[in-house]
Amino acid sequence: MTRKPRKSRTRPAKSTAAPAKKTTTTTENLAPPRPIASDLTTVDRCNPAVSEARGPAAQTTGPLLEAIAGNESLLQQLVAEISELRAELKVVTEAKATEPVQTNWTQPDHETQQTLDELEQELQTFRIQVNTLEAENRQLCDDNDELRQQNSDLASKVASSNVRQSVNSATSDSNEALSWEQRKQLILRQMEEDTFDAESFINNTIAKHLDESDEDDGESWMIDPADYVEQMHDELEHRMEELDRREREIKELNHLLEQRPGTSDDGVAIGAAAIAGMVDSDELIQEERMRLQQLQAEWEEKFRKSEIEASLERAKLSRERQELSRKTAELEEQLEHLRHDTRQAEQAEGHSRKWLAKLGLASSDID
């Protein structure tokens, strides 16, 4: 914004009182200018960080700084001119108190007020520009911080990815040297520890399968991971069936080996039959077996005798129990008869006493 040149004016010796009062009121209502150094502190603080983080942003910040410097010089000039005008207005105000004011001072006061308004508008415009530049600078600082955070995140991700790739490569190399049983145990242990990466395992297996296919027929082809997993599942089931079949064959062979004859074609005893023959031919073992057989026969005879004696004893006890039961029944019957006779005698005696009492005779009188 270009500033209009200030008109030259001569200060008259006298002026009217009313315009002087108006000018004084306008001068008192002017707001004090803002300090320029405090407005530019934020702009100068973040410039190195912005130029360091973003190359294109730093190229854009250079012209902004030059514009800020130019605006600062203009603002300083405006502040100086406003200070001069205020000093002049103060002198005029003091002169009005001592000298009469001429009537032709109205037009210069109007021009002065207009110039002050223009300068104030320019000052406000420059302040708005400075605020805008400060906002842009703050935005650049925020972008710089965000870019630094993104850079650190990307660096950490790249580092973790490199570590994971190195670990996966080392694991894949070690897995290639392992057998299927060892590899299965390793996968189960990783699943228990929650460190098994299924995606990397599938990718490595697919890549290995593709490399083997390229070595076989020299054709590059792609395979769906889901189809490949299903194919692996079918192949695993086929291998398990083959393993079960072989286990059954081994069991059958073991059974046939146990059922085969104890001697070979040359008459030589083999296997369990040979061991049994060696044991049976030992004299000590034969004598011990005979002694055990005799002891077994003796104890069997004793057991039979004890069983017979126990049976006779049980029969004797049964007969005695029956005899006791019979005698108990007879005694109970005799006791019942005695009780019955006693009750009848008591009833007869009671009736006779009742008749004697009715006749007025006592038993003592009868005696």
Same domain, 36 and 148: yes
What confidence tier does 327 reach under pLDDT thresholds 50, 70, 90? very high
Same domain, 40 and 174: no
CA 171 to chain centre: 26
In a 13 Å sphere around the CA of 148, the CA atoms on its Cβ side amount to 11
Q: Which of 136, 116, 128 lies closest to 54, judged by CA?
A: 136
Residue entry with tokens 């500033």: 3
Which residue segment(s) compose the domain that 123 sits in?
A: 17-162
Same domain, 74 and 193: no
Domain boundary residue among 113, 136, 162?
162
Domain boundary residue among 146, 162, 178?
162
Ramachandran angles phi, psi of 269, nearest 5°: -75, 140
Residue entry with tokens 């935005």: 139
**Residue 287 domain flag:** no
**Residue 158 domain flag:** yes
Rounded CA separation 177/197 (Å) = 19
**Residue 47 domain flag:** yes
Same domain, 227 and 201: yes
Tokens read off for 17: 């009182």
Is pLDDT above 80 for 110?
no
Rounded CA separation 34/120 (Å) = 12
337 to 178, 333, 349: CA distances (angstroms): 103, 6, 19
**Residue 197 domain flag:** yes
Each residue of 37-59: b (16+ CB within 10 Å) or e?
eebbeebeebbeebbebbeebbe
8 A C-beta contact, residue 41 and residue 110: no
Identify which has the larger pLDDT, 343 or 221: 343
Q: What is the pLDDT of residue 10?
A: 42
Rounded CA separation 76/71 (Å) = 9
Q: What is the pLDDT of residue 330?
A: 93
Domain boundary residue among 121, 143, 162?
162
**Residue 366 domain flag:** no
| Paired strand residues for 269 | 263
Same domain, 182 and 152: no
Same domain, 76 and 150: yes
Q: Which of 178, 275, 259 lies closest to 187, judged by CA?
A: 178
Identify which has the larger pLDDT, 143 or 330: 330
Same domain, 150 and 28: yes
**Residue 341 domain flag:** no
Residue 19: CB atoms within 10 Å:
19
Average pLDDT of every residue of the chain: 70
Q: What is the pLDDT of residue 175?
A: 55
Q: Is 14 helix (H, G, I), strand (E, B) or coil?
A: coil
Q: What is the pLDDT of residue 124?
A: 85
The CA angle 67-71-72, to the nearest 5 degrees, is 115
Same domain, 103 and 185: no
Q: What is the pLDDT of residue 162?
A: 72
For the chain, the straight-line distance linking the first and the last C-alpha, in angstroms and rounded, comes to 169
**Residue 363 domain flag:** no
Same domain, 136 and 179: no
Same domain, 174 and 97: no
User: Averaging pLDDT over each range in 119-123, 337-341, 347-351, which range is the top one?
Assistant: 337-341
- Please indicate, yes or no, whether the overall pTM of this predicted structure exceeds 0.85: no
Rounded CA separation 326/241 (Å) = 79
Tokens read off for 341: 């006779």
Write the pLDDT tens digit of every residue in 40-52: 444 444 444 444 4
Same domain, 153 and 179: no
Number of domains in the chain: 2
Rounded CA separation 241/233 (Å) = 12
Q: Is 263 helix (H, G, I), strand (E, B) or coil?
A: strand
Looking at residue 280, its amino acid is D
Rounded CA separation 201/164 (Å) = 12
Residue 262: CB atoms within 10 Å:
14
Helix or strand holding residue 123 (H, E): helix 106-177
**Residue 283 domain flag:** no
Same domain, 101 and 148: yes
CA 287 to chain centre: 75
Is pLDDT above 50 for 239?
yes
Q: What is the pLDDT of residue 116?
A: 84
Looking at residue 203, its amino acid is N
Write the pLDDT tens digit of every residue in 84-93: 887 877 777 7
